[in-house]
Chain A
Amino acid sequence: DAKTTQPPSMDCAEGRAANLPCNHSTISGNEYVYWYRQIHSQGPQYIIHGLKNNETNEMASLIITEDRKSSTLILPHATLRDTAVYYCIVRVAGGSQGNLIFGKGTKLSVKP
């Protein structure tokens, strides 16, 4: 699975959009980008995933560059409850092994 690089920490003002970047320059054509988050000591929570098209759901939007070497997770209106560690993971979908390999992630602090 391709490696990812994320900033260790970011701050965001409450009510503003939080844009979390992820570099995955060695991504292969059949690898998806997944985003999970972990709110303090709770179990990680799935947010969104995509292959090459931009994706949006009720939680967030995922923007993947055309060359697929980087992506951005966007939380459109961050709240204090969005304070968490956000993990960007790149992995082949459709395989027989579903385990995800978590890196260090980005610690997002949403401030009032």
Chain B
Amino acid sequence: DSGVTQTPKHLITATGQRVTLRCSPRSGDLSVYWYQQSLDQGLQFLIQYYNGEERAKGNILERFSAQQFPDLHSELNLSSLELGDSALYFCASSPGTGGNTGELFFGEGSRLTVL
């Protein structure tokens, strides 16, 4: 158990819909990262937040957005969903900006299926 909690574990929805994935980082961790893993793309970094501020941006689509709240939990919002958005979405956390040790703690993921 990494201490990172993601909900929901599974989600099935239709094209065009909007969903929100939630992540609670390990106690005390200030950074949250979102990754997408689809069969053909591997693990793709989406975005990082540190203490409520966006810190790094990866291959995140404009239809996707994220935020980190004052209590440090984070939400990833996916809108206008397409079939290709079906994937595992992982959240990870680290104590600081993550730059010092490179150790990220990953949650078990949210599996999104878009029909």
Contacts and interface: CB of A to CB of B under 8 A. Distances in A.
Contact of A98 (B4, B43, B88, B99): B99
Interface in B36-66: 42-43, 45, 48, 55-56, 58
22 contacts: A43-B107, A43-B108, A43-B109, A44-B104, A44-B106, A45-B106, A46-B105, A49-B102, A87-B43, A89-B102, A91-B102, A93-B99, A93-B100, A93-B101, A94-B100, A96-B97, A97-B48, A97-B55, A98-B55, A98-B99, A98-B104, A99-B48
Contact of A102 (B42, B94, B97): B42
A36 B98 CA distance: 15
Contact of A94 (B43, B99, B109): B99
A2 interface: no
A89 B101 CA distance: 13
B42 A46 contact: no
Contacts of A103: 42
A102 B90 CA distance: 13
Can you list the 3 inter-chain pairs with the closest CB atoms, starting with the nearest?
Answer: A98-B98, A43-B106, A95-B99
Given A42-B108, A44-B43, A44-B106, A98 B90 contact: no
A92 B13 CA distance: 39
Classify the interface of chain A: helix, strand, loop or mixed: loop
A98 B108 contact: no
A101 interface: yes
A77 interface: no
Interface size grouping (class) on chain B: 20 to 34
Given A99-B56, A103-B42, A104-B42, A44 B90 contact: yes
A100 interface: yes
Contacts of B100: 93-94
A66 B88 CA distance: 38
Contacts of B102: 32, 34, 49, 89, 91, 93, 98, 100
Contacts of A94: 99-100
